[in-house]
Amino acid sequence: MSAIWHVFQIKWSLTLVVAGFSCFAFSDSSSNSLFNMSLADLLDVTISSTSHFDETKMSSATTVVHSSPIQWKQQGARTLGEALSHMPSSIGVQGAGTTQMFAVRGYFDFAADTGIAVRLDGIPMNKIRSGTGLLSANGYDLAALESLELIRGPGSSLHGTDAFHGVLSLQTKSHSNDSEYGKSTSVSSALGSHDYSALSVSSHTAEQGTHQAGTTLSYRKFGDQDLRYPYTEPASGLHKSGERSNEQEILNGVFSYMYTPNQTTEYIGTAYLFKVDANQLPGVGREILGESLQEDKDWSDYSSLTSVLKVGINHRRSERSSLSAFAYYWRNVDFFSTDLSNTFLGFRLDEDREESHFGFQVLNRHEFRDSSVAYGYDFRSGSLDDFAETLIGKDDSVTNNQRVETGFSDDVHSLFFDGRTSIASSSIDFVYGLRLDKYTSFDLQASPRLSLIGPVGEGSVWKLSYGHAFRAPNLFHLYGASTTKPNFDIQPDQLDNIEVVFQRQVQDYFVSVTAFKNWWSDAIRSVLLDQPEGDFVLQYQNTGKNEAYGAEFEAKFERNRSRADLSLSYIKSRNVDSNDDYAAFPDWILNLGLGYQLSDRLDVYMNNRFHHRQEASESGVSQGSRQFFRADVIFNWEQTERLTAQFAVRNLFDRNNYLPSYFGHEEGVPDTAINASVSLNFRF
């Protein structure tokens, strides 16, 4: 009965808000700047993660998607995870102690996310303990970001070891478009179901031709989301259900400064702080023994505090030559907790971890008549400064352990080379790159890439690309954990990728077709030991050969007041040696967005997401739904260029959706029920 009343409240609120919007929407107004960005403007944005030179989606040799605040507003995205959910050939889910995990083009298990490189303003943000930069992904609040880019496929020739399956590049708010000089400030606020609230303030100050400074502060809260999940009681075999609140509180602060003393030189500085607290995220599921050990308390808690400082210089020596350099330091302190006291392990586990990272990069760029080349040096140093485990027994006994890997540090020295040239007597571009990475603890690794790009008539291109990537073992792979046995003989895994792409872009539509194949050798995966050794039941090992292949179709269409955004992918991934499919990753993924501008002031957009997968969750137990379908409806309203509002209803049909689980939860990880939010933005 309470669920029926909840749905009734949402639908009644929708009726009232649409009626209220309509009173404004169809009155006379000359302000329609919210809808003035054309499809051509969206497609011709600068891509910065695929090369050391600025590119567009059409000119890039790498398969990439770009997303910015105008798309997030259109889609009603509130978090980085929600923005990523609209990306082609990829899925984002939650795991134990993680606000958002991410998998691209198959290989779905609880280690796949360690192959995604996360970069913030060019700074590598992956941790040396877990190998991922996504544990606190939702902590990067969209209010503090200018854009995000996702490379689908290997990017090691540009970004090194972490760029194995893909690259997620985040750009903080630049404020450069706010005004040429003077001051501007914007304030945004939001309220919604499940005790959702948000507030952000962003300001920008500029002196003509000299100084620019920007500040963004944001706060976002998700209350109890009442996510019900099924489990089987190990002792009785009865099917029961539990509940997770999935509460999250996010705080961001960004300060940026740029000093331009002349037309050839600029100095930049950025300070970034983000904090996230999350309660009752998914627990350990059936990962340990194939049973739902935590039963109705299958929970984990996670908190993270990250501070980042970056300084740099950009200097143009001549019209065709430039030098860029930057240095950075970042520090992360996080906490993980999960209660295993009712399991055979008999304790609650608390982990306190601290990492610090330092690095710098020097980059030279040269542009010639028919070619361009970039080369440079990259240095990274990471240290696990503290890693303490606390085991609290059923009798309240406390055991404190300082993990043996505490104090581990690793340096990486890298040389990289990136270029493009036109092949003589043809209109074909040859794109090439090579990166050499020398680790203190691992051998020298080489990551090449080669591509050919040629025209097919006016407005169309074909692309043929090859890339090689590697992934060095992280500390979790080497040292294990409370239930995972160490393995110091584990070797880096390798991946080779080939892609064929056709793209066409004209004034009112864009089409892209991609076919790819990956060959993954010495894959690092967690496997069950033949016989448990004390508390150890798992170990990370090199598990032989894997492969993935698939096809992707993307299209964007715009005509008069209507528009459509479509991405469709078919992906198969499997372990070649065992002939087992990674069946939890959806073989079919469809994202369909349909938009219509009702008036000069009111726009409506409907997101539709569909996944079909062969199994319900990673473990292969297929007792739940293998299909995921969700529809969101978003109304964006603009009273003036300074005042805008949004009303969004997510999971419009209130479906009981489940996403696949990294940890073998029965049926998967539940998606949120129907919910709504309203937000206002005012600029002055």
The total of other beta-carbon atoms located within 10 Å of residue 329's CB is 16
What phi-psi label fits residue 160: left (phi over 0), alpha (psi between -120 and 50 degrees) or beta? left
Rounded Cα–Cα distance for residues 495 and 164 (Å)? 7
Question: Which residue is listed with tokens 């140093």?
Answer: 381
The total of other beta-carbon atoms located within 10 Å of residue 12's CB is 10
Q: Minimal CA–CA distance to 432: which of 461, 389, 467?
A: 467
Helix or strand (DSSP H, E) at 265 = strand 265-282
Q: Minimal CA–CA distance to 161: which of 561, 462, 446?
A: 446
8 Å CB contact between 290 and 619:
yes
Half-sphere exposure of 389 (CA within 13 A, CB side): 16
pLDDT value, residue 408: 92
| Beta bridge pairs of residue 271 | 255, 309
Half-sphere exposure of 182 (CA within 13 A, CB side): 7
pLDDT value, residue 35: 55
Q: Minimal CA–CA distance to 573: which of 549, 590, 604?
A: 549
8 Å CB contact between 550 and 567:
no
pLDDT value, residue 83: 92
Rounded Cα–Cα distance for residues 36 and 76 (Å)? 18
8 Å CB contact between 501 and 462:
yes
| Residues 80, 119, 168: CA angle, nearest 5 degrees | 50
Rounded Cα–Cα distance for residues 299 and 281 (Å)? 5
The total of other beta-carbon atoms located within 10 Å of residue 130's CB is 21
Question: Which residue is listed with tokens 């571009």?
Answer: 429
Ranges of the chain whose pLDDT falls below 50: 1-34, 177-179, 618-624
8 Å CB contact between 401 and 444:
no
**CB within 8 A of 173, min separation 6: which ones?**
143, 144, 145, 146, 202, 214, 216, 254, 256
Tokens of 14: 């929708």
pLDDT value, residue 317: 92
Give this prediction's pTM: 0.90
Q: Minimal CA–CA distance to 602: which of 633, 628, 632?
A: 633
Question: Which residue is listed with tokens 């939001």?
Answer: 190
**CB within 8 A of 263, min separation 6: which ones?**
none
Handedness of CA 606, 612, 618, 620 (dihedral sign): positive
| Beta bridge pairs of residue 432 | 419, 450
Which range of residues forms the domain containing residue 36? 2-683
| Beta bridge pairs of residue 390 | 350, 400
What DSSP string runs through 297-351?
A: G-EEEEEEEEEEEEEEEEEEEETTEEEEEEEEEEEEEEEEEEEETTSTT-EEEEE
548-572 tens-digit pLDDT = 999 999 999 988 889 999 999 999 9
Tell me whether strands 580-581 and 562-575 are parallel, antiparallel or unpaired. Answer: antiparallel
Rounded Cα–Cα distance for residues 167 and 447 (Å)? 15
| Beta bridge pairs of residue 66 | 149
Rounded Cα–Cα distance for residues 459 and 461 (Å)? 7
Helix or strand (DSSP H, E) at 255 = strand 247-259
What DSSP string runs through 517-577?
A: EEEEES-EEEEEEEEEETTEEEEEEE---EEEEEEEEEEEEEETTEEEEEEEEEEEEEETT
| Beta bridge pairs of residue 362 | 325, 377
Report residue 72: phi and psi, to 5°: -65, -40
Rounded Cα–Cα distance for residues 410 and 471 (Å)? 15
**CB within 8 A of 333, min separation 6: which ones?**
304, 305, 352, 353, 354
Q: Minimal CA–CA distance to 333: which of 383, 282, 386?
A: 386
Question: Which residue is listed with tokens 């999935």?
Answer: 246
Rounded Cα–Cα distance for residues 269 and 255 (Å)? 8
Could you tell me how far CA 568 lies from the centroid of its own chain? Answer: 19
What DSSP string runs through 271-291?
A: EEEEEEEEEEEE--TTTTTSS
Report residue 476: phi and psi, to 5°: -65, -40
Helix or strand (DSSP H, E) at 477 = helix 475-479
8 Å CB contact between 503 and 512:
yes
Rounded Cα–Cα distance for residues 163 and 115 (Å)? 6
Rounded Cα–Cα distance for residues 633 and 652 (Å)? 7
8 Å CB contact between 261 and 74:
no
pLDDT value, residue 419: 94
Tokens of 84: 């990523």
Tokens of 595: 């938009």
Tokens of 573: 């991934």
CATH code at position 466: 2.40.170.20
N-terminal to C-terminal alpha carbon distance within the chain: 45
Total domains present in the chain: 1
Helix or strand (DSSP H, E) at 676 = strand 675-683
Rounded Cα–Cα distance for residues 589 and 609 (Å)? 8
Q: Minimal CA–CA distance to 445: which of 160, 645, 162?
A: 160
Rounded Cα–Cα distance for residues 401 and 354 (Å)? 15
pLDDT value, residue 359: 97
Q: Minimal CA–CA distance to 516: which of 586, 567, 433, 573?
A: 573
Tokens of 352: 């306190």
Tell me whether strands 347-367 and 321-340 are parallel, antiparallel or unpaired. Answer: antiparallel
